[in-house]
Amino acid sequence: MSTDEAGRLFHFTRLPRPVVDRAGGVYLWDKSGKRYIDGSSGAVNVNIGHGNRAVIDAMKRQMDRVSFAYTIHFQNEPANELADQLASRLPRGMDRIYFVSGGSEAVEAAIKLARQWAVATAQPTRWKIIGRMPSYHGITIGALEPTGDDVLTRVFEPMSRPMPLIPAPTVHRDHDDLSLEERGLHYADMLEAKILQEGADSVLAFIMEPIGGAATAALVPPDSYFPRIREICDRHGILLIHDEVMTGVGRTGKFLGGDHWTCRPDIVVLSKGLSSGYAPLGAIAASEAIVGPVVAMGGFLHGHTYGGNPVSCAAGVAVLQEVDRLGLIANAATMGEVLKDELAALSRRFPFVGDIRGKGLLVGAEIYADPEARRPLPREAVANVRLIDLAFERGLIIYSRRVRGGPESDNFMVCPPLIVTRAEIGEIIATLGDTLEAFAR
């Protein structure tokens, strides 16, 4: 397959891809019988692995009882149960949960909740959402607004009225003159500069992925970053939204990516791992301090037909049970370290791969044009697309956005399901080694 074909992200035609036949654990098979090891957990969402019996049975049982009941007419037990289960795992007090069907929808809901909170608390001038460059928050018009990726957003401006952006702490690239902790503070302080530049009373919220995912391949901010970000948001009365769509539900070795630091967000956004790919599901969570005023002004002016539907929520409840029963959060932490060590060994063999980073099983790396100088590839490069194609041919799926010349078109992630074993990591690494041999040729 040529990279041109591979680069057609928005396709209305059939991509030249094999047809999937079946899946189980960390493996998928296509119709020809070829087996693939899933080093990308689908779209970094199949956290509990493929073909989990408990989840499938829970969904079947729910479908036998009631597949759909409109939330305007009825509560349903799985949605109530999932809300309770989530509240017990989220930072204390984040117990007002709202369900949608996916990540972009959840980001939109978070933005609308923030805006309605501002209006309900007599702060109608606040509307701007500051995001980071590079970042990814979703593909719908509203979720694109704070997404720092000009390849995805440019065509849609001014419809996707771009919001102010600050740099993400791209610690592997910039400011070698500063220590890591100084860099964290430096990048956080850019938020304050941007708030003041925009006019503090026009800014509503700051949205960030605690550990950058799709756009930056598992970039972990320095420890100094989060406390300073919280301090700045508090000083200016701005809501902090953590987009945990990719990092949530154990992926990084804690329930939330943000749990690695003591920085409490105002709104948490979840999706992907919440249903682990078994059903479309997303959620936002906030405290009574945010939701109370919105309810008091007549309720959240939002709603989706499938939001809180019983089958998706039954999948969510069963996924959380499986995460606990199988000890997947601890496994993500342990196996993540094994994976990073193995990747570091590969990077010694193939020096153009470097900056192995991440937490838990959200692990990323760079492909350098010049490893000595750590010089990145030119922006129009598609090295990562070539790499994932070579891996795919060899039966290994790794994660990268297939966008030509995106902000970081030279990185990739290895993020298998949280059930992955040492032996399966060995298989991923062996195949990646073969892939890098071919890539270097």
* Residues near ligand PMP (CB under 6 A): 43, 102-104, 107, 136-139, 209, 213-214, 243, 245-246, 271
Rounded Cα gap, residues 68 and 76, in angstroms? 9
Nearest distance from C-beta of residue 134 to ligand PMP, angstroms: 12
Rounded Cα gap, residues 291 and 267, in angstroms? 10
Nearest distance from C-beta of residue 212 to ligand PMP, angstroms: 8
Nearer to ligand PMP, 246 or 391 (CB): 246
Nearer to ligand PMP, 248 or 354 (CB): 248
Nearest distance from C-beta of residue 143 to ligand PMP, angstroms: 6
Nearest distance from C-beta of residue 141 to ligand PMP, angstroms: 12
Rounded Cα gap, residues 129 and 41, in angstroms? 30
Nearer to ligand PMP, 107 or 356 (CB): 107
CB 224, CB 185: distance < 8 Å: yes
CB 47, CB 319: distance < 8 Å: yes
Task: Please state the separation of Cα 77 from the chain's center in Å.
Answer: 28
Nearest distance from C-beta of residue 246 to ligand PMP, angstroms: 4
> What letter would DSSP give residue 50?
B
Nearest distance from C-beta of residue 347 to ligand PMP, angstroms: 25
Nearer to ligand PMP, 91 or 138 (CB): 138
Closest CB to ligand PMP: residue number: 103
> What letter would DSSP give residue 222?
P
Nearest distance from C-beta of residue 245 to ligand PMP, angstroms: 4
Burial of 20 (0-12, 13-18, 19+ CB in 10 A): exposed
For 186-223, b/e burial (b = at least 16 CB within 10 A) is: bbbebbbebbeeeeeeebbbbbbbbbbbbbbbbbbbbe
Nearer to ligand PMP, 131 or 222 (CB): 131
Nearest distance from C-beta of residue 41 to ligand PMP, angstroms: 12
Nearer to ligand PMP, 104 or 116 (CB): 104
Nearer to ligand PMP, 66 or 139 (CB): 139
Cβ contacts of 130 within 8 Å, gap of 6 or more: 146, 163, 164, 165, 166, 191, 194, 195, 198, 203, 205, 206, 207, 238
| Complete edge-to-edge strand list for the sheet that includes strand 239-243 | 96-100, 282-286, 267-270, 239-243, 203-208, 128-133, 165-167
What count of other Cβ atoms lies within 10 Å of the Cβ of residue 24?
A: 12
Cβ contacts of 392 within 8 Å, gap of 6 or more: 36
Nearest distance from C-beta of residue 45 to ligand PMP, angstroms: 8
What count of other Cβ atoms lies within 10 Å of the Cβ of residue 121?
A: 17
Nearest distance from C-beta of residue 330 to ligand PMP, angstroms: 23
Nearer to ligand PMP, 186 or 401 (CB): 401
For 404-436, b/e burial (b = at least 16 CB within 10 A) is: bebbbbbbbbbbbbbbbeeebbebbbebbebbb
Nearer to ligand PMP, 38 or 243 (CB): 243
Nearer to ligand PMP, 243 or 342 (CB): 243
